[in-house]
Structure 1
Amino acid sequence: MSSTLWRLLKNPSAAIGIGLLFLVILVAALAPVLYPQDPWAMVGRPFLPPFTDPQFPLGTDMMGRDIAAGLAYGARVSLLVGIVSTACAIILGVTLGGIAGYYGGLADDGLMRVTEFFQTIPTFIFALVMVAILSPSIQSIIVAIGIVSWPPVARLVRAEFASLRSREFVQAAIALGESDRHIILRQILPNTLSPVLVMGSLMVASAILTEAAISFLGLGDPNMMSWGYMIGASRTVIRQAWWMSFFPGLVIVLVVLTINLVGEGLNDVLNPRLARKGRA
């Protein structure tokens, strides 16, 4: 693990991504300390332009709320949704894909048909409908994004399991009479984690974008400040107060780019042959 982390830090793009991601996590963790007031509180003059008042460096919105405070608290929502929904999707995808790839036969056919069914539905529309049905909240957003995100993971894990099951070390474990559970958890699963980790890092970025889009449309958690809500609330005054949508949009772009840099670095470190082949 330490050697992998060291190689990751030696990768320029991954090092930059990890540094920026650490900064975002730090701001999110320290948001209550940096901005003890409620991000929904009206603390200044409405429509205060950025860089005109040291107390509100990024300005205020139409209600006099601090834009910088909204960005800090919005980072907590975005990271929470991105990480938890991706973890749920990976757990579900690895479980179903592993069963299908290891056992094959009817289990493979049945689970893959379910996976294909989910993949035929537009993911964002499906997530939007689920949030609307479950009522807008951070929990329903996480559940919706997790449910629409697991099929690619299941297909990847299924292919890896099916390939590894025919390898000599797995056949030797079967011949020695080891249980299926032991073979799956100790022999096959560790060898499939590299591509799953790479995919998972990119899924976090996708989940953050999906949450922002859902909040932009007004279906975000009404009790939690989010970047998507900030952009959606400012679209009617974009000509009058450009900063209200510019700064949240810029932060979303930078965070997604940062996570993609980390994902590319993971791909280079964990799959060096594939990375060199892609560059060639």
Structure 2
Amino acid sequence: MNIFKSLKRNKVAMVGFGILFLLVIIAIFGPYLYDGSPWKMVQRPFLPPFQDSKFPLGTDTLGRDVLAGLIHGARISLLVGLISTAIALLIGIPLGAYAGYYGGWVDEVLMRFTEIFQTVPSFALAVVLVAIFEPTVYSITGAIAIVSWPPVARLVRGEFLSLRSQEYVLAAKLNGQTNRNIILKEILPNSLSPIIVLASLMVASAILLESSLSFLGLGDPEIMSWGYMIGAAKTVLRQAWWLSFIPGVAIAVTVLSLNLLGEGLNEALNPKLSGNREN
């Protein structure tokens, strides 16, 4: 409850939360409330925005409704960001926890394994992975998850290294609790604050990465997403700038809202930052 109270006091974080909440509502209910198909040709191509009340955002290169694509694309873009982040957390948290808790050779092996993925830039590695497999929403989500988990592992490792010598952990060991219970019930709950903040920022990065892949032609051609809309319009930037601008604004607003929420969570979960803000 204290977290929610702190967020309510942070107006910037509440703005981010409100925008994100609205986007989630659009992603869930938008395709049902606005029944226009994003793939159906409904008007002449390159219809500018606000020229036809039936298609307020105009049409694309094939005469498809841009607003329908924007609404349907919200679901895919958010799902890619959320699912890839969830997978990255499922990989990074256990590896970082074991490395930080056990230390020694376990730490060395797991961290060297992590560094293998960090030697190649994330975007370049994602491009290679998607290019190797057929570009689908599944391969894109998997590629983003693979390049996203190393920072999670390093963050969790650092938290476990600092917490494993705390008195409550030593008391749990003296009580005969297993290492598994100590990791899951004693240390991990006390490490969640920075993980939650990082996860909110990772969703934003995943949405940007999906958009970048689609812009390069590595998006799923059968799934409507904001990244796909930008990628499909990249050859007509001069002729129809709005086709890239509109989904670009949607991505920018989503990323901004996630960053604002992440900043608010950081302040709410970090007592020192909250205290400084009040002073």
Shorter-normalised TM range: over 0.9
* CA 1:100–1:228: 2 relative to 1, 3 Å: same
Structure-2 separation of matches of 1:167 and 1:222: 52
**Cα gap change, 1:279/1:245 in structure 2, threshold over 3 Å: closer, same or farther?**
farther
Q: What is aligned with 1:138?
A: 137
Q: Tell me, yes or no, if structure 1 residue 118 matches structure 2 residue 120.
A: no
Is 2:94 aligned against 1:95? yes
* Alignment partner, residue 36 of structure 1: 35
Partner amino acid for 2:249?
L
How many Å separate the matches in 2 of 1:144 and 1:275? 36
Q: How big is the shift at 1:9?
A: 2.5
Unmatched runs of 5 consecutive residues or more in structure 1: none
Name the stretch that deviates more: 217-226 or 192-201: 217-226
Could you tell me which residue of structure 2 aligns to residue 206 of structure 1?
Answer: 205
RMSD: 1.6
* Secondary structure of residue in 2 paired with 1:218: coil
- Structure 2 counterpart of 1:152, one-letter code: P
* Mean Cα deviation higher: 184-193 or 266-275: 266-275
Task: Tell me how far apart the structure 2 counterparts of residues 220 and 58 of structure 1 sit (CA, whole Å).
Answer: 23
* Aligned match of 1:78: 77
Q: 1:110-189 maps to which residues of 2 (within 5 A)? A: 110-189=109-188
Per mean C-alpha deviation after superposition, the further-off stretch among 266-275 and 179-188 is 266-275
- SS at 1:30 equivalent: helix
Correspondence for 1:60: 59
Instruction: Kindly state the Cα deviation for residue 214 of structure 1 after the two structures are TM-superposed.
Output: 0.7
Task: Work out whether residues 36 and 65 of structure 2, in 8 Å CA contact, stay in contact via their aligned partners in 1.
Answer: no
For residues 204 and 158 of structure 2, the distance between their equivalents in structure 1, rounded to whole angstroms, comes to 24
- Report sequence identity in percent: 59
Matched with 1:258 is 257
1:18 is the counterpart of 2:17 = yes
Stretches of structure 2 that go unaligned for 5 or more consecutive residues are: none
Q: Which residue is 1:109 aligned to?
A: 108
2:68 equivalent in structure 1: 69
* Structure 1 stretches of 4+ moved >4 Å: 274-280
Looking at structure 2, the residues matched to 24 and 190 of structure 1 have their Cα atoms a distance apart, in angstroms, of: 29
Deviations 1:75-97 (A, max 9, x none): 11110010010011111111000
Structure 1 length-normalised TM? 0.96
Aligned residue pairs, count:
279
Report the Cα distance in structure 2 between the residues aligned to 1:235 and 1:134, rounded to whole angstroms.
Answer: 23
